């Protein structure tokens, strides 16, 4: 009972919590321009939006790396108004371009928060961004997916087609990825006949072969999944899209693959904890590919609320997700949200949030032998804040991590090169 209570307390805390601001104020020589896409604003709804008790400051974060450039997407909430801002960095996060509005409106009608963040993916100079629309009358104010697209590296933005071919919505817990041939999107929605299982939705997939201008017909990957855990999609060197998501019965994370012809194959559970849970844990996972000496390994971190396995666990696969190694726990039982990245030099870096001596912290551990052994975790967030939902990505010089921290007044973004 104590372990179960600990899990729900942590979920409640991280749900409301989500330090150095990523900004170019110190580097005014970098400039950017945006246009005015035809997307709805939320003028006049700021007082209603404030009922959500959203923190002031950064409420959504996503980041991508492409050809040596970092691409950052931030959602901000300031005095009841929301905006989506794009920035990039050519020096691995040391300096950033001037923030540019993805949608040039005073108050963007967006339903975004940590764990259900707006998403970004990059293919050359083409950038696609998605988020969920805020609908006042809808349950949880959750509306259909919205999208914007830039074809000049983020200088100008236009409203664009969205991945779902079911426009009603709501859609949620989206992830985007891009490779040389396509953009890939996964999300949850409840179109069609709903399952009788509590807290369930269906996992959908869509693919764009023209840089996000249009999307192919949707593919249902799993009819019954967890309704509120984020999903992860990444493509391998063969342009196959692998999807990590939280399944039902049991509520363990599962992985599958969509080939280039959009055929889906569910592969296996990632971390076989046999966790049976009817509610909404808001716990996802992450994975990455690593090729060393011609051998490809998949590295994954998964969170679970099973009473005997509370926390974040690492596991690896040497056969593209069909089988997984015994898990290794990272951190203690309070660890919740985790992310992982792997370099082709054999180095693997994992980040996660968990209880710290003061407040809630972001911790990092790394392996230099493809996940066999892991270093002692160290805290990289501020010691007196509530920090959550870290992301780590590969860069041309190593790794870069980003997360949010709340000091009791403002929620800000913090970063660290690793």
- Inter-residue contact 149 to 98 (CB < 8 Å): no
| Eight-state DSSP code of residue 413 | E
- Which residue from 282, 391, 393 is spatially nearest to 61, judged by alpha carbons? 391
SS3 letters for 112-131? CECCECCEEEEECCEEEEEE
In this prediction, residue 19 carries a pLDDT of 32
Average the pLDDT over 394-402 and give the result.
96
Q: Residue 108 is encoded by which pair of tokens?
A: 């963007």
Please indicate whether residue 38 or residue 268 has the higher confidence score (pLDDT).
268
The two structure tokens encoding residue 351:
């980040």
Output the pLDDT for position 14: 43
User: CA-to-CA distance for 112 and 119, rounded, in angstroms?
Assistant: 10
Residue 49, pLDDT above cutoff 60: no
For residue range 82-127, what is the model confidence (pLDDT) as tens digits? 999 999 999 999 999 999 999 999 999 999 999 999 999 999 999 9
Query: Is residue 403 classed exposed, middle or buried when 0-12, 13-18 and 19+ CB atoms within 10 A define those classes?
Result: buried
Helices (H), 1-73: 2-16, 46-49
Residue 134 parent element (H or E): strand 126-134
The set of residues, in sequence order, having a beta carbon less than 8 Å from that of 197 and lying 6+ positions away, is 224, 248, 249, 278
User: How would you class 329 by CB atoms within 10 Å of its CB: exposed for 0-12, middle for 13-18, buried for 19 or more?
Assistant: middle
Separation between Cα atoms, residue 75 and residue 240, nearest integer Å: 30
Going 307 to 309 to 310 to 316, the CA torsion angle's sign is negative
The phi, psi pair for 67, rounded to 5°, reads: 50, 45
- Residue 250 CA: distances (Å) to CA of 100, 189, 224, 225, 277: 43, 20, 11, 10, 7
Kindly report the backbone phi and psi dihedral angles of residue 149, in degrees, each rounded to the nearest multiple of 5, phi listed first: -145, 140
84 contact partners, CB below 8 Å, separation of at least 6: 60, 73, 74, 75, 76, 101, 102, 103, 108, 110, 118, 129, 131, 148
Count Cβ atoms below 10 Å from residue 107 Cβ, excluding itself: 20
The pLDDT of residue 3 is 53
pLDDT bin (cut points 50, 70, 90) of residue 47 is very low
Dihedral of CA atoms 37, 39, 44, 49 in degrees, nearest 10, equals -120
Contact (CB, 8 A) for 88 and 102: no
pLDDT exceeds cutoff 90 at 56: yes
Instruction: Tell me how far apart the alpha carbons of residues 95 and 266 are, in angstroms, rounded to a whole number.
Output: 41
**Confidence at residue 52, expressed as pLDDT on a 0 to 100 scale:** 52
Assign 339 a pLDDT band (cuts: 50, 70, 90).
Answer: very high
Calculate mean pLDDT across residues 22-37: 33
Least confident of 16-20, 272-276, 391-395: 16-20
Mapping DSSP to helix (H, G, I), strand (E, B) and coil, where does residue 6 land? helix
Asked whether the bond before 250 is cis by omega within 30 degrees of 0, the reply is: yes
The per-residue pLDDT of the chain, averaged, comes to 89
- Arithmetic mean of pLDDT, 249-259: 97
Phi and psi, residue 197, nearest 5°:
-70, 140
pLDDT at 12: 45
By the 8 A CB rule, do 296 and 314 touch?
no
Q: Please tell me the distance from the alpha carbon of residue 72 to that of residue 403, in angstroms, as a whole number.
A: 12
Q: What is the pLDDT of residues 179-217, one digit of tens each?
A: 999 999 999 999 987 788 888 999 999 999 999 999 999
- C-alpha–C-alpha distance, residues 379 and 392, integer Å: 14
Backbone angles phi, psi at 132, to 5 degrees: -100, 135
Q: Both tokens of residue 141?
A: 């104010």
Q: Is the pLDDT of residue 25 over 80?
A: no
For the record, the structure tokens of 309 come out as 């396995």
Measured CA to CA, the distance from residue 385 to residue 15 in angstroms comes to 15
């Amino acid at each position: 009972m104590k372990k179960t209570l600990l899990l729900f307390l942590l979920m409640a805390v991280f749900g409301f919590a989500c330090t150095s601001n990523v900004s170019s104020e110190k580097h005014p020589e970098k400039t950017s321009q945006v246009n005015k896409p035809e997307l709805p604003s939320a003028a006049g709804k700021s007082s209603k939006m404030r009922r959500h008790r959203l923190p002031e400051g950064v409420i959504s974060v996503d980041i991508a790396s492409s050809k040596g450039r970092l691409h950052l997407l931030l959602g901000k909430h300031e005095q009841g108004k929301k905006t989506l801002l794009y920035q990039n960095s050519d020096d691995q996060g040391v300096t950033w371009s001037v923030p540019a509005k993805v949608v040039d409106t005073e108050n963007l009608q967006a339903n975004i928060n940590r764990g259900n963040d707006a998403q970004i993916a990059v293919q050359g100079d083409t950038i696609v961004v998605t988020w969920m629309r805020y609908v006042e009358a809808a349950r949880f104010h959750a509306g259909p997916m919205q999208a914007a697209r830039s074809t000049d590296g983020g200088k100008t933005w236009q409203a664009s087609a969205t991945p779902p071919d079911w426009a009603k919505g709501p859609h949620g817990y989206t992830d985007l990825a891009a490779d040389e041939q396509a953009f890939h999107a996964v999300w949850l929605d409840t179109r069609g006949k709903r399952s009788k299982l509590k807290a369930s939705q269906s996992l959908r997939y869509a693919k764009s072969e023209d840089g996000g201008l249009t999307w192919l017909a949707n593919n249902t990957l799993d009819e019954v999944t967890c309704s509120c855990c984020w999903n992860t999609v990444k493509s391998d060197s063969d342009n196959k899209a692998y999807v990590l998501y939280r399944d039902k019965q049991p509520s363990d994370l599962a992985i599958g693959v969509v080939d280039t012809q959009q055929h889906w194959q569910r592969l296996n559970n990632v971390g076989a904890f046999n966790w049976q849970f009817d509610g909404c844990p808001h716990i996802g996972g992450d994975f990455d590919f690593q090729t060393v000496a011609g051998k490809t390994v998949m590295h994954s971190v998964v969170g679970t609320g099973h009473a005997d396995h509370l926390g974040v666990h690492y596991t690896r696969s040497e056969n593209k997700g069909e089988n997984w190694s015994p898990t290794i726990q990272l951190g203690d039982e309070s660890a919740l949200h985790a992310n992982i990245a792997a370099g082709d030099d054999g180095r693997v870096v994992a980040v996660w949030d968990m209880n710290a001596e003061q407040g809630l912290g972001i911790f990092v551990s790394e392996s230099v032998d493809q996940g066999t052994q892991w270093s002692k975790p160290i805290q990289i967030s501020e010691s007196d804040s509530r920090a959550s939902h870290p992301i780590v990505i590969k860069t041309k010089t190593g790794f870069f991590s980003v997360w949010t921290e709340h000091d009791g007044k403002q929620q800000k973004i913090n970063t660290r090169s690793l």
